[in-house]
Amino acid sequence: MEIDQDKIDEAVLALMWLTLHDGCRAWKSFGWGATDRLYQKGFICDPANKTKSVVLTDEGMHRAEELFKVLFTRQP
């Protein structure tokens, strides 16, 4: 079975939106591989630091909310 890393990244980014605090910070309790890829894609600031959260970029905030709605909400 081949894992689609892009789908993993989308789910992680959507879950980051769920854990937002202080405006644009999200807990970085996800795998380093996923956070590194999200950083390379420009959705979060550099995750390689001692803080327990990451900052989502403007693009990351928009995409995270979009993905959260698609992946985790029900249509009426």
Q: What is the pLDDT of residues 19-52, one digit of tens each?
A: 999 999 999 899 999 999 999 999 999 998 888 9
Q: pTM of the prediction?
A: 0.90
Percentage of the chain lying above the pLDDT 90 cut: 89
Q: Which helix (H) or strand (E) holds 34?
A: helix 32-40
Instruction: Check if the beta carbon of residue 68 is closer than 8 Å to that of residue 18.
Output: yes
Give the HSE-up count for residue 15: Cα atoms under 13 Å, Cβ half-sphere: 15
Could you tell me the domains of the chain? 5-72 (1.10.10)
